[in-house]
A and B are shown apart, each in its own frame.
Chain A
Amino acid sequence: MSLDFAQIVPYIPFIVNGIKVTLQVTLLSVVFGFIWGSLLALIKISNIRLLKGFAVAYTSVFRGTPLILQLTFVYFATPQITGYNISAFEAAVLTFTLNSGAYISETIRGGIMAVDKGQWEAAKALGVPYRKMMTDIILPQAVKNILPALVNETIALLKESALVSTIGLADIMQNANIVKGTIFRYFEPYLLAGLLYYVMVMLLTWVARVLERRMRRSD
């Protein structure tokens, strides 16, 4: 066994620099995915047949095919079909948004259904219109219930974002790949990359715990 950490020291900043892309892709996708997922969830609990069918089929397709295939598809097929030369970053955020939207929509739908029926009735009895009832009364309670699940989804997304290296985006994973190819050593760069992911996930877990505690003050 030969380990030589001295060799990768000059490359550490380069790998660490990948955090920027990893975080950008993750955060943008989580935010857009949450909005898109909320919309899908609202459609799923609505009575609009056509949209409902679409939302269900959509979720089924995005959960039923590999993420790496979706990413490849969006990145390479978009220029072919639309003529628009999509950048790797755009393709990454778009794919992860579409994909996490599918997962998040199911989580949110479950959260909405779990809100006490009495809350809907109390809001209705006060004459609160549907949209305000959802945004002010039902969704805040639903989100509180599903916060742990949303954090899990974010953590999963953060880790899966490593897939963007396959379309050449310079995230942590891709930069580790590059260092590997430069110094011909595997263990050290990937160990560092793994460490970076792990620390980020731990940080996220901690933030979630604090957030959850704050939101639980009304229990």
Chain B
Amino acid sequence: MIKIQNVSKSFGSLDVLHDISTEIGRGDVVAIIGPSGSGKSTLLRCMNLLETPTKGTIVIDGQAITDPKADVMRIRQKIGMVFQHFHLFPHMSVLDNLTYAPVKVKGLSKAAAEAKARELLARIGLSNKADVFPNRLSGGQKQRVAIARSLAMEPQIMLFDEPTSALDPEMVKEVLDVMKGLADTGMTMAIVTHEMNFAREVADRICFLDGGRLVEDAPPSEFFVNPKSERAKQFLEKML
């Protein structure tokens, strides 16, 4: 589904990603972990072209998105993204946050978009918040709404950029539960996270980045029990 081939990214003279190659199959859940500054977020952001790779190609669903002629807007419609700081639209109600893109971008009718939005809100347990503004929500609720907003576009892939890092500890679980539920539906997911237990439990594969390099790419059973690299061992000792 996502094929990353020899991707490098530098900001000016700063090299953030070095020659990364990996693949995410349909329905796979891949957790991208590593120390801060290792390039995890940048790699994720390359997958929907919020960052443009300096070198290499990314192929999604058979289409090379790194091709300069690629229709970026169309590609992004197929890829949902959830941010660390939610980035809900503060001047729209929760319902409008969910219906905006389907109506304005995909051309769905208002009624159809609203029906879909209400169904999603029910799924994340926030039906009663449809008409409130985002500032009335807790961090966990905001993030669940942000997930629902992405899902409203019916994406084929979901990207999560540290979705629980900005949350109070007691709100982490409600967000992870929604993500778990999503993984169970067979959604293809790439998740940058520091939640090791979640990664171990939900991910099919772990990509461990360090210094912009993909150091390990293994199933959690292997990675957490028997990391091959010294860096991964050190990292896990600190995290677990």
Contact = CB atoms under 8 A, between A and B. Distances in A.
Interface of A: 116, 118-119, 121-122, 124-129, 132, 136-137, 140-141, 144, 217-219
Contact of A137 (B89, B134, B150, B153): B89
B105 A126 contact: yes
Contact of A126 (B76, B90, B134, B135): B76
25 contacts: A118-B87, A119-B89, A122-B81, A122-B88, A125-B50, A125-B79, A125-B80, A125-B81, A125-B83, A125-B150, A126-B77, A126-B101, A126-B105, A126-B153, A127-B73, A127-B75, A128-B100, A128-B101, A136-B100, A137-B89, A141-B91, A217-B133, A218-B133, A218-B134, A219-B90
B48 interface: yes
B40 interface: no
Contact of A121 (B50, B73, B80, B88): B50
Interface in B63-115: 73-77, 79-81, 83, 85-91, 100-101, 104-105
Nearest to B80: A125
B205 interface: no
Contacts, number: 66
Nearest to B134: A218
A124 B87 CA distance: 12
SS class, residues of chain A in contact with chain B: helix
Nearest to A125: B81
In the complex, the 7 A-B pairs of residues with the closest C-beta atoms, listed nearest first: A127-B77, A122-B87, A118-B87, A125-B81, A126-B101, A127-B76, A218-B133
B163 to A, nearest CB: 13
B105 A140 contact: no
A2 to B, nearest CB: 58
A128 B104 contact: yes
A39 B79 CA distance: 32
Nearest to B132: A218
B91 A144 contact: yes
Contacts of A129: 73, 105
A127 B91 contact: no
